[in-house]
Amino acid sequence: MSGLIGLSAYQSLKIYGWWRPLRIINWKIVADRDDLTFKKLFHEMGLDEHQLRCLQTNKELWIKEKGLELADIFLVPTWRIHVTKDMNAKIAEIAMMNLSAEWLKYTHVTFMDLVGAGLTLNLMMLLKLDLNTWVEIGLYRDFLRELTDVQSISLFQLPKNMVLQCVHDAKVL
């Protein structure tokens, strides 16, 4: 579904030029023009996340057709863009974003989503999450099967047997 939003004189001029000063825009106009990308509309035209969402509620169309990129997800937090399901990000890209535990939970990213994106025991260190967060998003005991004490201390500042007890206890609850 798409909507219609009003434009300021500046926005109208930047989008339509001098010869066609319309003060409104809809998704059809945006979709028909290659130059009207997410970045241009957000950064250059000054449209906010709510106006963009009004133009087009389907975030997949913004991603596929209008160039919404992984780095842009913080600009539109209410869209709850999922880093793996919506953006198809790999674990290295996710790690470079420095996503907080709150953000992962807010956007419903699960441990299995991260595993699907390439997470391994060794790569867990790239994500700065505490044991509690890992458990909350779905860390399971079997994944930790090959965890060494050195890795456990490095990742969680706890010996392996204590980590396994925490994960086991979380599953029981």
pLDDT band at 173 (very low <50, low <70, confident <90, very high): very low
CA atoms 82, 87, 90, 95: torsion sign: negative
Which residues, listed in sequence order, are joined to residue 25 by a DSSP beta bridge? 5
First to last CA, the chain: 41
Q: Are the beta carbons of 14 and 47 closer than 8 angstroms? A: no
pLDDT band at 20 (very low <50, low <70, confident <90, very high): confident
Residue 41 per-residue DSSP state: I
pLDDT above 90: percentage of residues in the chain: 85
pLDDT at 19 over 90: no
How confident is the model over 20-44, as a mean pLDDT? 94
Give, in order, the Cα–Cα distances in Å from 48 to each of 7, 41, 44.
12, 8, 11
